[in-house]
Structures are given as C-alpha cells and as structure tokens.
Structure 1
Amino acid sequence: MASRQGPLPAQGSMTVKGANPLSSKTTTVLSSSYADTEFREALALLDERGILNTAETRRQLRLDLQKEVIDSNGEIIDEFAKVAEQLGRIGMTIEKLNESFNEMKTQLGAAHEATSSTLEEASRLLAQQRQVEQKQALLGAFNANFVLSDDEIAALTLTMEPVDELFFATLAKAKKISNDCEILLGFENQTLGLQIMEQVSKNLGQGFQKLYKWVQREFKTLNLESPQIGSSIRRALRVLAERPGLFQNCLDFFAEARENVLSSTFYTALTGNSPSGKEDTSVKPIELAAHDPLRYVGDMLAWTHSAAVGEREALEGLFIGEGDEIAKEIQAGRENELWRLAAEDGEDTGEFDAVKTLNELVDRDMSGAVRLLRQRVEQVIQTNEETILAYKLANLLDFYKNTFSKMLSPDSALVETLGGLESEALRQFRSLARDHVAAIQGGFQHIPADLRPPGFLLDALEQLTAIMKTYETSFTSSGNREAEFEPVLAEAFDPFISGSANMAKTLQAPADSIFFINCLVTARWNLSQFDFTKRRAAQLQTNIDEQRASLVEAQYRLFRAESGLDALITALGVLEDSDDDVEKVSSLEAVQEPALTRASQLLDDFLPSALMDAVERLKHLQDSGLARDITEEAAEKFCVDFEHVEEMLMLADELAEQRHGESDDFQSLRALFPRTSGEIRVLLS
C-alpha cells in the first residue's frame, strides 16, 4: 500500500498499520444504503423479533440466524422426499396407462379393419341420400313455383267452387307462374317453359271467365244503398281490371242494371207507384206538387241530384276504394301484348282515368231517370204561360246544370240534357216576353196627363225586378254577370223603354223631355239596385243627362224670351270688352232708348214670378231635386248673360261720358236699364 499511495504523514502511517476497528465499522455503516429494500426488510425482521441491541445479543444473533437457516433447509429436504415418493407413484400409474393405451390401440386397429368396408358403403349411401334430398327439394320448389295442384286448379276453374281467398291466391300464383316462365324461355331448352305457360294460360283464362261470371251474378243482387259493400266484390273488380275487355263488359252490364233500378226508383218517387203498378205508401209522390211548376221541377231536380250523389259515393267505394289499384291493373292489362293487338282494331289505349270512368258510369246509371226528367220538365216548360216563371225555371235548370257539371263533367249526358232544357226554358221566356210586348203595343200611345211613366212600363219594371232578384240569388258560373244578363234586358226591358222613347217623341218640348226623364229615372232606380245591371243603369243616366240638358236649354230660352232680354242678349252676346266692340254698342238697335226702356219694363214684370213660373213648368218632373237643379242651372246661364249685358252697357256709358262730358245730349244707358246682376241673382235664387 505504501508503494501505491506514496509516503504518508507519520500519524497517518500509524492509523493504517493498526487497522482501527472503529474506523472500519464506521466506514461500513456509512457505506450501507438505507434505501435498499433487503436492508429495510432485515431491519423489519429484527424489529419483529424484539431483539435488544446488547453485546450478548449481537454475539448470539449470527448463531441464531444460522440455526434457523439450517432448520429451514431440513424442512425443505423433508418436503422434497415426499414429492419424490409421489412422483414414483405417478410414474407407475403412467406405465399402466401406456400398457392400457397400447392394448386399446391394438383392438381399435382390428375393429377398424373389420368395419372399413361397412363405413365406405355408409358414406356412399349418405352421399346418395343428400343428392336425393337436393333433387326432392328442387322438385318441391319447382312444383310450388311452377305447378298448380289439383285443388288449386279446381278452385280456379270450376264454377261450383266459391270465389274465395283460395281462388284469389291461386289466381295470383298462376299469374306469377306465367311471369316466371319467361325466365325459362331464356334458356336453350324452351320445351318445359312453353308447356307450363300453355297450361297456366289456359287455367288463367278459365279463372278470369269464372271471375267475370261471378261478378255479373253479384251485380244482379248488389245493393248500393247498403253502407257496407263487400270487400270481395271490390277485390274481384280490381283483379278483373287486368282484362280490360271483361272489365268493360262488367261495367256495361252494371250500368244497364243500375239504369233500370234508378229509372224504377225515380218513377216511384214521381207517382208513388212502382212500374208494375204496386203502390208504395212510404213515398210521397212528387207529382202532388205539379200545380206549382217551379216546386215540381225543383223537387225532380233535387231527387236527381240526391240520387247522383248517392250513386257516385257508392261507386267510389266500389271502384276506387282501393286507391288507384284498378287504374294500375287496367293499364298493365292494356300494355299486355294480346290486348295491344286487340287495341289496334280501335280500342283506346290511353291512360286509364278512374275518376273520369266513375263519372261516366254515374252518368250512364242516371240516363234512364234523366229521360223521365226531360219529358216531365219539357211538359212543364211548354205548358207554362208566365214570363217570370219561365225565367225562374231556366235559372233553376242553370243552377243544377252547373252543379252537375262540377260533380260529373261538362260533357256528361246529364249536363247536356239540363243545358238543353235550360235553352228551351229561355226560348219560352223570350217568346212570352215578345208576346207580352206585342199585346201591349197599343198602350204605348196613351200618355198620362201628369207625364208619369206609363202603366206598361211600370208593369214591365215590376216583372224585370222579380227576374233580377231571381238572377241575383242564382249561382251563375259566368265570370261576367252583366254580359250574361244582357239578353234578358234585351227581351224584358229594351222594348218597353224604346216604346216610352217613341211616345215622348209625340209630345212638345219640354213635355217630351219631362215624360222621358220620368221613365228613365224610374227605370234607372230599378236597375241600380243590382250589381249586374250597373252598366245599363249608367247608360240610362247618360240618357237622363241628355234630356236634362234639353230641359235646361228650354228653361234658359224661356227666361230670355219672357224677360224681354232675348234681343239684347243676342245683340251684345257677340261683343267683347274691346274698344271697338264697346263703340258699337250705342249704335245697336236693341240698346236704343225705346227698345231698352221696353226691355227694362218687361224685365221688371218678369222677375217677381220668374222662378215660380219656371218651377211650375217642371211640376210634372217626378224628381223634384232634378227639377230644382235644372231651374238653377238655367237661371245661372241667364244671370251670366245678364252680367255680360250689364258690363257692356256700363262700358258704353263710360266711353260716351269720356266723349261728351257733361253735355246735355248725353243719355246714360244704365239710367234706362237700371237693374243689376246682383238683383237678378237674388230674385232668381
């Protein structure tokens, strides 16, 4: 150590050589890691033993620990001895098992050699069984999908079998087989597919024929008035729709049967007796109201409408209660090749409209009742002699025509029949109106003394008012009610107003205008009460204004003539306030002293009673307000003329005064004609 470390100090040499135990211990203790897990466990074991830190204990501790280690090793050896003994036993058991295994292996080998031929035969048989089962499953699937059983064929084709769920299921299966056979026809060998299709097509044809006959039988006993119509008939119709020809034949048969039923029902409703003559006490005959033509026709039309609505509701549930299934089936049937070939001969192949077909069927069902209706209504129209009643009948027929047009279609036979009856009623109305005009032609010459509207005009207006009230409450389909009502005015109004105008021409003025205004005002008042005659009322007002202007002019002329100012107004009316025209005034004959003095005197005599005389001339004008307005307007025109006369005379005086000054030869025109325009307005107001 000295050679490696070199020389040390003296005291250091002594410490090394002596190997101080305390120093070694301290170094050992200090070098120990208290973070070591084993060290901490050792300390924990010492704490568990409760050993005191004494010299004797420290000396004895190592011996005790060594003894414990030896004892533990001995126990382990004992345990391993027991294990060795058990392993020996296990070895013996394994040897025995090996012997038994070898013996069994020998026996199995012998058994396998003995049964190998049997197992091969069994495997072969199992394989054959699987093949048979596959073929059997294939045959079953083929029979289920492509072959009808005997029971199914019987249910589909025999008429003695009912049309029930089995029938419809079999029919659906047959259609599916027919469709699936198209796949078989895609292969090289088509014999099987052709044979199956031939047989299935035959069965399908017989099935549809059976269904067709069954539907016809059901239609004979079908009660559409029943709230519950069997679902089987609806299903049958939906299925039968695949054959449009058969379906149409059924519709024709049904329409004929329903036509007879509704005709008989309508006849019973009319007479209270069935077509066979049997009385039905539960029905109140419509013919009991035949004395009242309007009610009679209305009851018949109401019954027709009720029957058509009921028929349509029932048929909706019967034919389109399944949505658009019938339309789809008919369309599919028309697209079928066989039906397309048939359609080439004239059958319509357009898209099937279920609602249109339903409306046509209702129309056909009602045709028998409609014939009876037409006969009865024609009889009422032809025997009627009342003008207003004829128009009310036409209006009633128009209302129901529009109603049925919305419910069915404008082209339906029922709507066309009602349209024809309406036209006939309107012809009768026009004929009666013309006969009425012809009958009272002689009365056109008798003018009342008080110039009031003649009696024939008042009667005509009363009749027209009744017609207009009827038209106002009607539900006309026209968008222009005024234009639609014009023909009525032409027949029931224009001849009478024209007759009044002709009568007015025979009178002298102003009586002609007064009489005609009275007629026009009365007519306008009647027409203005309705919105669909506003335009004609406005035309009458234009005529009134023309006659009013004539009366205003007549009153104005009378004012000028009776006032004595006509010559003066005429002479001065053409002059203006220019110097040249003012200079001419004094030379006019009308403003000379004698003429002007006479005019002033006549004016003074005229003014006190002028207004009363003017009103008296219009006393026969029934509209007092209009008479007052006419007089006031005429007076205003006269006052305007007088103002011009006054102005011209004053200008003439001013010009003369400028020329002559205060000479004795000057004569003032205003002194000879002193009245002022203010005085005139006061006296004529």
Structure 2
Amino acid sequence: MAGTYFQERPSPAGHKGLSPASPAVGSVSRGANALSSRITSVLSASYADLEIRDALETLDSRSVRNTAETRRQIRLDVQKEVIQSNGEIVKDFGAVAEQLKRIGTAIESLNQYCADMRGHIAAANRETGPVMEEAKSLMNQKKQVETKQQILAAFNSHFNISDEESTVLTSTAEPVNEEFFQTLTRVKKINHDCEVLLGTEDQTLGLEVLEQSSKQLNAAFQKLYRWIQREFKTLDLENPQINASVRRSLRVLAERPTLFQSCLDFFAEAREHILSDAFHAALTGEVSDSTNFATKPIEFHAHDPLRYVGDMLAWAHSATVSEREALEVLFVSEGDEITRSIQAGLESEPWLRSDGDEEVFDGRKALNQLVTRDLTGVLRLLRQRTEQVIQSHEDATLAYKIANLFGFYKITFSKLLGTDSDVLEVFFDALENSAMRRFRTNMRDHVAAVQNEVTVAPTDLSPPDFLEEALETLKALAKSYDTSVATLEDRENGFESVLVEALDPFLKGCLNLRDGLQEPDADIFIINCLLEAKGTLAGYSFTQDRLKGIDKIIGEHTARLVDYQHRYLTHNSGLHALMEALSEAKISDTTESLKTIPRLDAFKPDTLISISQQLDEFLPSALIDAAENIKRLRNRRFVQDVTEEAAGRFCEDFEFVESKLLAADDLVRADEDSDEEEPAPGLRDMFPRTSGEIRVLLS
C-alpha cells in the first residue's frame, strides 16, 4: 500500500522545461531540498511501529487511493469519524449514568432495610440473651450427664455381668461349655481389676464388686468341680482322646488346688474300682454292669501256675499302659497350663502352702502317682492270688521263676511309673521277696530229704542222682534268671544267692559221700561232680566267679590225682627205692657225698639190678596201668592230662637219679684210673636205662 501511495504522486505542473537559468531556479532548489528532507524523513522512519502499522492497515482497509483529493480529504474524514465516535460514546455514557442513578437508588433502599434489620436483631439479642445463657448451662450439664452415663455404662459392662451370664456361670442346670469358660475368664478379670477400685479414696464400690465377683467365682468353681466329678463317672478312657472340655476344666480347676486335689482323689478312687472290677472279670469271667469283658477268664485257661501269674502280670501291665496313655493328655500335654494354674491358685490362697515350701507341679510325676493309685486295687488282688499260688506249691523252681517274673515286671513298671513309685516297693518287692523265701524254704526241705536218703556214693563214682536232679533244677533256674531283665552290674551277685541254695548244699552232700571213699576214688568222685556242675554253669555269663571257684577246687583235686599217679609210677617202677635212699642219705652234689652212693643199700649191685629189671618190666604198660587207676573219671581228657603230668614228673625224677648215678660213676672211674686197676662194673652198667628212653616209652 505504501508503494502505491507514493508511486502515483505526479510532478507539479510548470516544472517541465525549466532550465537552470530560469528565475524559478531558487525556489526549485529549495523545493528539492524540502523533498529530499521529506524523503529522508520517510526513509528514516521505522515502519515497525505499531501505530504506523495500524494507520496503514486502516488506510488499506478503506481502499484509499493515493491522490491529491484523497490526501486533502483524508484528514477531514478522519476527524469527522472521530467526532462521530465521540458523540456515540457520550450517548452511551449518558445511558450508563441513568442506570447508575437507578442502582444508587436501589442501594440506598437496601441500606435502609439493613439498618432496620440491625435494629430488630439488636432488640432480639437483648431479649434472647438470658435464654441463651441458660441453654448454654443446660448443654454443659447435658455433656456432664452423658459423660457420667458413658462411665457408668463402661463400668457396668466391665465390672458387672448380666443375669444370663450369671446363670451360665453358677447354675448347675446350664452346661459347662465355651460360654461358661468365657464368662469365668471375664469374672476373673473383674476380680483382678478390683484392685484399681480399691486404690481410690472411696473403696466401698471396690469392696462390693470384689465381694460379688468372689462369690460368683466360688460358685463357678463349685459348679465346675461337680461337673468334672460327673464326667469322671462316665469317662471312657478307652477313647483315644479324652474329651477336650475335661482337659480344659481340669486346667481351670487347678486354680483351686484344694478342689483340684479332691477331684483327683475322686477320680483315682473311681478308676481303682473300675480297674479292680475289670481285673476280677478277667480272672473269673464274672462281668459286672460297668465292665465290658469278652475274653476267656485267666483262671480257666491258665492251668500252669507260672502262666497264671504271668497272665495276671501281663494284664496289669497292659492296663497300666492303657491307663497311662489315656491320662497322659491330662497331665503332660496340659502340664504347663496346670502348673501355672496351680501357681496362681497358691498365690491367691497362700495358706495352702505347707511350711512355706513351694512345690512346682510336675505333670509326669502327677501322672505316675495317679496311675499308681488307680492300680492299687488291681495289685492288691494280684498280690493275694500270687501269694496263694506261691504258698500252695512246693516246687522251688516254680517259686524262683515267679520271683524272676516279678523282677522282670518290676523293671518294666519302673519304666512306666518311675523308680520312686510305691508300687515297686509295696507290691513287686514284697512279692519277689515272698517268692524267694518260698524258694529257699523248698530248697532246704529238699536238701534235708536228700541227705537222709543218700549215704553212699555210686560205685562208678559218677555224680549221684540227687546232684543230677539238682543240676537240672539249677539249669532251669539259670535259664529263668538269664531271661529276666537284670542289670549287668548285679546279674552275677543276684544269682549267687541262688547258687548258695540250689548248688552248694548238694556239693556239700557230695563231699560228705567222699569221706567214705579211698584214694584216688574220693578225688575222682569230687572231680566228676564238679565237672558236671561246671558244665551246667558254663553257658551263662553271670556264673563266671563261681566257675573260677570250681576250677580252683578241681585244680586242687587234680593235683592230688597227679600226686597219686606219680607215686604209682615211682613205686611200681622201683624208682621210689632209689629216690628214697638218696633222700635219706641226703646226697648232695659234693664229691664226698656222691662217692657214698655206691655204698647205699639201694645202689648195691644186686638191688640195683633187681630195680632195673623191675623198671624194664613196668615201662611197656606203665601208661595204660596208670590210666586204669583213674579210668572212672568221666572226662577222658582229664585222665590223659593227669597221667601225662604224672609221667612227666616221673621222668624228672628218673633224670635226677640218673644224674646222681653218672656223677658217682665218674668219680669211681677217676679213682680207678689213678690206682691203675681193672675197673669194676659201674652203676650205669647195672642200671642201663636212660632218661631219653624213659621219655619215649612214656610219651
């Protein structure tokens, strides 16, 4: 647009054809300068100015042509438009002023209304002030009453129980269920929280609540005590698990130690009667209303006395195991809870403690004691029946087997009931001692009868019949003892008393029979008896000390047999005369002593030749003849060992005599060589046998 506006400006008329020399040159020159200034001004102007841009846009919107007429009229047109615009603005402001007047009138009316309202409000405030003060006071009193109501409701909900809960807690017509235990727990908490009320200045309320809660607790524990007693009457211990409510009730009742102990006493008495009836039914088959028994009676099918006693003990053991397993859940699984409950009961009832000693409840110990009390009736009846069996039989072996049976079950019951159980001492020890007394009595009666009947040893020197019978009995006793569970420390000592009663009297009887026998029969007879006894005892580890003693006695008698055989060999071979002569002459190894040997009667030629001949005749059958002397030894090995040992001693004696003969001959030859005479026959020539030949012949 700017380009169009400035492009179409025409040159002024009259300027054409002017020469520089014309009169208008000066004015033209001034006009050229003005134009130059104008152009410079236009060119130096910044068309980035917003006003210029707006002006140019306005011109452009009007489609104004850059003509002289337009340039003359544009200012007038613009001013005219400005005047028209101002007139319109004034007109619009007049309308606005009219509206403002109306608004002012409305505002004045509203201010008047507000002033009237403020007056009415002030009058109302003056009239309602006392009422508001009174309402505020009533509201504060209401808040205090509500607070007291909340406190009372909280107190009643915490320290009081409803009539329905009181009925559940104390009425015997209501069952002992979860609701009962919950109510009981709540009342115990109320009783405990009364300590807070007792700590206030006014203790009357605390005392009243404490008295009421204590009465409720006592009534609840009495109800629980009677309920447990009723449950115990119908409690089925054959059930693998005792009713959980009974276990919980016992744990809670333990907070009253007196009631808890009374309840246990009642239960033990009831169980004692039940088990006694069951045991009587097991023995006789007489079934009571409370006993369920479907097996054969023990007294009818156990004809053997030992089996009869064993079946009774087995029944008692089975009943003990069942009773313990059934009651274990009462005192082991709930043991810690019962301990804490009893401790709490002792703290609340300190007068129940004896001498100030505080004994901690032991669940397993209480279980063992309760099972022991339950079995008292059964064991009393068992003791009566067992003593009848023991007294009515005179078989010592039976009495001893019964004693061992009680020893076995004593150890078994000690594992179930503990080593400090009264059952072990009152019943098992007493019955075991009774059976052992009967065993000793029967054995002594039997020994007395045997001693009166047998007065002579058997002709073959074998063990007498009474010893054989006694050893058979001893074997049965040892077998019975071996099967009993005795500790390794006292096994040997425990059986020694049996040997004293069952073996020693019969061995003593054999010694008495030996007194009527000659040598070597007496030693052979005793050795045969001892070897028989040794063979009976050798198979048991608990007879080692006694076996050592028997071996020692056998060794003594064997040594006497060896002496006898040795004397037989020396006398029958003639060697005894030579040894006796040397001994009487007290021949030593000195030269003077050895030179006296040829002068001894036994070493004179005729006598020495005769002894040599006797020796030659004896040697071929010497061992056979010697063995014949002790052939009645029942152990062939002993016969051989005794004979060989005697032969060895004989060879040693022969070597001794031979050495003396050779030493004497050496001295005689030395004397004869110095005299240069013809030598006389030496002792060796008249007694030619050598020790080597003797050993060969007697080997």
Provide TM-score, normalisation by structure 2.
Answer: 0.79
Which residue identity does 1:285 align to in structure 2?
Answer: P
- Name 2:36's counterpart in structure 1: none
Which residue identity does 1:263 align to in structure 2?
Answer: S
Structure 1 residues 302 and 532: CA distance shift in structure 2, 3 A: same
Deviations 1:179-218 (CA, angstroms, capped at 9, x unpaired)? 2222333344322222221221122111111211221222
The whole-number CA distance in structure 1 between the counterparts of 2:226 and 2:696 is 103
- Name 2:635's counterpart in structure 1: 623
Asked if 1:663 corresponds to 2:673, the answer is no
Shift of 1:537: 1.0
SS of structure 2 residue aligned to 1:248: helix
Identity in percent: 50
The whole-number CA distance in structure 1 between the counterparts of 2:291 and 2:172 is 40
- Name 2:386's counterpart in structure 1: 377
Structure 1 residues 660 and 68: CA distance shift in structure 2, 3 A: farther
CA contact (8 A) 1:269 1:285 kept: yes
Shift of 1:465: 0.6
Shift of 1:72: 9.3
- Name 2:520's counterpart in structure 1: 510
Shift of 1:340: 2.7
Shift of 1:122: 7.1
The whole-number CA distance in structure 1 between the counterparts of 2:347 and 2:155 is 28
The whole-number CA distance in structure 2 between the counterparts of 1:264 and 1:559 is 79
Of residues 357-366 and 537-546 in structure 1, the stretch that sits farther from structure 2 once superposed is 357-366
The whole-number CA distance in structure 1 between the counterparts of 2:524 and 2:56 is 159
- Name 1:582's counterpart in structure 2: 594
Structure 1 residues 165 and 649: CA distance shift in structure 2, 3 A: same
SS of structure 1 residue aligned to 2:49: helix
The whole-number CA distance in structure 2 between the counterparts of 1:72 and 1:362 is 121
Structure 1 residues 672 and 132: CA distance shift in structure 2, 3 A: same
CA contact (8 A) 1:443 1:456 kept: no
- Name 2:556's counterpart in structure 1: 546
SS of structure 1 residue aligned to 2:294: coil
Extract unaligned runs of 5+ from structure 1: 1-61, 79-84
Structure 1 residues 586 and 380: CA distance shift in structure 2, 3 A: same
Deviations 1:99-127 (CA, angstroms, capped at 9, x unpaired)? 99x98997998899667958877766665
The whole-number CA distance in structure 2 between the counterparts of 1:375 and 1:63 is 153
* Candidates 639, 644, 669, aligned match of 1:632: 644
Shift of 1:674: 0.9
Of residues 449-458 and 567-576 in structure 1, the stretch that sits farther from structure 2 once superposed is 567-576
Deviations 1:245-276 (CA, angstroms, capped at 9, x unpaired)? 11111112112221221121112111112257
Structure 1 residues 71 and 410: CA distance shift in structure 2, 3 A: closer
Deviations 1:383-429 (CA, angstroms, capped at 9, x unpaired)? 11222222111111221122112211344443321221221111111
CA contact (8 A) 2:191 2:213 kept: yes
- Name 1:593's counterpart in structure 2: 605
What is the number of residues matched between the two proteins?
Answer: 604
Structure 1 residues 357 and 279: CA distance shift in structure 2, 3 A: closer
- Name 2:49's counterpart in structure 1: 70
Matches within 5 A, 1:393-404: 393-404=402-413
CA contact (8 A) 1:316 1:358 kept: yes
- Name 1:48's counterpart in structure 2: none
Deviations 1:327-380 (CA, angstroms, capped at 9, x unpaired)? 2211221232xx332445x89852222222222221222222222222211111
Deviations 1:271-300 (CA, angstroms, capped at 9, x unpaired)? 112257x99783311111242111111111
Shift of 1:63: 10
Provide TM-score, normalisation by structure 1.
Answer: 0.81
The whole-number CA distance in structure 2 between the counterparts of 1:432 and 1:112 is 130
Of residues 382-391 and 568-577 in structure 1, the stretch that sits farther from structure 2 once superposed is 568-577
Shift of 1:621: 1.0
The whole-number CA distance in structure 2 between the counterparts of 1:473 and 1:151 is 66
Asked if 1:299 corresponds to 2:278, the answer is no
Extract unaligned runs of 5+ from structure 2: 1-40, 58-88, 98-102
The whole-number CA distance in structure 1 between the counterparts of 2:305 and 2:342 is 47
Deviations 1:585-636 (CA, angstroms, capped at 9, x unpaired)? 3333322223222221221121111111111112111111111111111111
Structure 1 residues 67 and 418: CA distance shift in structure 2, 3 A: same
Matches within 5 A, 1:77-116: none
* Candidates 198, 201, 219, aligned match of 1:185: 198
CA contact (8 A) 1:390 1:428 kept: yes
CA contact (8 A) 1:552 1:631 kept: yes
* Candidates 121, 141, 153, aligned match of 2:154: 141
Asked if 1:171 corresponds to 2:184, the answer is yes
The whole-number CA distance in structure 2 between the counterparts of 1:376 and 1:150 is 59
The whole-number CA distance in structure 2 between the counterparts of 1:76 and 1:214 is 115
Deviations 1:438-495 (CA, angstroms, capped at 9, x unpaired)? 1211344232222111111111111111111111111124632010011111111111
Structure 1 residues 111 and 579: CA distance shift in structure 2, 3 A: farther
RMSD, aligned α-carbons:
3.3
Deviations 1:292-326 (CA, angstroms, capped at 9, x unpaired)? 11111111111111111111111122344323211
Structure 1 residues 494 and 111: CA distance shift in structure 2, 3 A: farther
CA contact (8 A) 2:320 2:371 kept: yes
- Name 2:451's counterpart in structure 1: 441
| Larger-Rg structure | 2
Shift of 1:65: 11
Of residues 675-684 and 65-74 in structure 1, the stretch that sits farther from structure 2 once superposed is 65-74
- Name 1:674's counterpart in structure 2: 688
Shift of 1:138: 2.6
The whole-number CA distance in structure 1 between the counterparts of 2:502 and 2:190 is 74
Which residue identity does 1:683 align to in structure 2?
Answer: L
Structure 1 residues 603 and 64: CA distance shift in structure 2, 3 A: farther
